[in-house]
Amino acid sequence: MGEAESALATIGAIVVVLAVVYAPLGGWMARVYTAEKDWWVERAIYRLVGVDPDGEQHWKRYILSTLVLGMVGIVALWLLILVQGRLPWDAGRTGMDWHTALNTAVSFVTNTNWQSYAGETGAGYLVDMTGLAVWNFLSAAMGMAVAAAFIRGLSRSGTDRLGNFWVDLVRSVVRILLPISVVAAVVLVAGGVIQNLTDPVTVHTLTGGSQVIQGGPVASQEAIKLLGTNGGGFFNANSAHPFENPQPWTLFVEMLLLLCIPFSFPRTYALMVGDRRQERPVVGVMAVLYLLTSGLAVWAEIVASHGPTGAMEGKEQRFGVAASMLFGDATTSTSTGAVVASHDSMSALGGGVMLFNMHLGEVSPGGVGSGLYSILVLAVMAVFLAGLMVGRTPEMLGKTIGRREITWASLYVLVMPALVLVGTAVALWVPEARSALQASGPHGLSEMLYAYTSAANNNGSAFAGLASDQPFLNLTLAVAMAVGRFAPIALVLALAGDLAAQQPRPVTEGTMPTHTAVFGVLLFAVTLIVAALTFFPALALGPLAEGLR
């Protein structure tokens, strides 16, 4: 089977499996966020942390809760990393520089998992298990909680309450992320992913050399890093390492893990707003964007090689070109920083597809929770633009999209591009940051643009040609990660609060339906136009210029 045929077969299998899990998983998540009763383990957690599960929160209180959890988490994880050399199960890791540790703490708390350090030499087993893996759960659950709150903003009327952040957070972990992760970890162990506390072992090779064989609790972290669209890797080679991803079928399982929740969230949205038709344009746009970019990525890499096997530089030979590109497309479409190939070694157009996926705002299908609320914000903008074009009051699910609502939505859309473009421009101006580039010209621009795009979108993958472990890049990328995570969350919750306070308007002949194919086309166009108008000049100077010269 050739690379093109392999890509088609893999995409077809992914579509079939996602179609099977779409309704059950989406329906279960809807029941999780609307259930009136708590599980006993959840009640125990509420008592432990002093939370009243029956007290719903104003949208400002909901925002404050996310910020408090994030800030406390960053400080606690930073300190844990700094003192890891004095802790048990350190596996010989003595700690990181303060700026590397801070970058890592911000990275994992914001669901980014950008790693300026080599995985097998930077973090000990205790830090991996009690710090990084725990935040893989909590950061993913934070995005899911915010998505649930935004849906309530659309479905509720005449209230300033969006639910309880702590209840949504705990339920996301206990009822969704943890059960699936346990099953996934067992499956990955069966496939050869390691799970132990064995110290690194040095072995002597037949040629007289030596090699360090690493151990560690890998499968447990691998499962949640993918399911929670976190990314990162226990090892520096990430998901290309045979201890993280031993064989082709485990690669397929890992792709399913990172796609299943984001693609199922539109069903959750439709059920929670009480209109099953609303899922069609949302999941349709997500699916079309994902399939288009997947096909374009594989095509670009095969054509770039001028041969039937594709360009193998930087690819893992166990998987080949097609699987490597499909995995890269899936991770950059879902805010997941895991990789099985060097994105820096991809063709200019292939790497450009990875960049463009993130420039879309990662809505194809995006991260767990964040993908849904991102595309719904774009839907708000699409409704507003449609209303302007036909001269009618813009409405979405009976809610008026007025000045305040479109202001929140516009600010939301502007945050990420501002962080990316300003951050890239400043970094290219600062000599210290420029010295980290291993390339010049268009490719050097792509390396720096990719870094700030990945950070501001909470993706975490890298072009791998940028030596980012230095104070300036560590600190500025940390700022991009923190602002790129918490500013959009605050804005989307403010929008949800305004929508929830409204009384629903009756549907009239002038109301634009948001469940039709026409609206899906409009949403698709708005998504592309927002990204194209914002990032096309930068892409033209980077990957497009490199690919066309």
- Six-digit token string for 144: 């899911």
Task: Give the three-class secondary structure for 145.
Answer: helix
pLDDT at 307: 57
Predicted pLDDT at 410: 95
Q: Total domain count for the chain?
A: 1
User: How far apart are the C-alpha atoms of 78 and 70, rounded to whole Å?
Assistant: 12
Spatial distance between the Cα atoms of 15 and 21, rounded to a whole number of angstroms:
10
**String of DSSP letters for 202-269:** EEE-TTS-EEEEP---HHHHHHHHHHTT----SSTTGGGSTTT--SHHHHHHHHHHHHHHHHHHHHHH
Rounding to the nearest 10 degrees, give the CA dihedral for residues 364, 492, 400, 284: 10
The pLDDT assigned to 305 comes to 61
pLDDT of the residue at 123: 82
Rounded to 10 degrees, the C-alpha dihedral 334/336/338/344 comes to: 80
Q: Is 372 exposed, middle or buried (0-12, 13-18, 19+ CB in 10 A)?
A: buried
Query: According to the model, what pLDDT value does residue 206 have?
Result: 81
Residue 273 token pair? 């707003």
What is the pLDDT at residue 329?
94
Q: Flag residues of the chain having pLDDT under 70.
A: 1, 304-310, 549
- In this prediction, residue 314 carries a pLDDT of 76
Domain that holds residue 542: 3-548
Which secondary-structure segment (H or E) carries 399?
Answer: strand 399-400
Residue 335 and residue 366 in contact, taking contact as beta carbons nearer than 8 Å: yes
* pLDDT score of 346: 86
Residue type, 505: R
**What pLDDT is attached to residue 29?**
98
Cα dihedral value 530, 447, 258, 322, nearest 10: 100
Copy the structure tokens of residue 374.
Answer: 């991102």
3-state SS, one letter per residue, for 70-113: HHHHHHHHHHHHHCHHHCCCCCCCCCCCHHHHHHHHHHHHCCCC
**Residue 187: count of CB within 10 angstroms of its CB:** 16
Q: Which two tokens stand for residue 81?
A: 């990393």
Q: Distance between CA 486 and CA 470 in Å, rounded? A: 24
Q: What pLDDT sits at residue 225?
A: 94
pLDDT of residue 306: 56
Dihedral Cα 341, 344, 348, 350, nearest 10 deg = 20
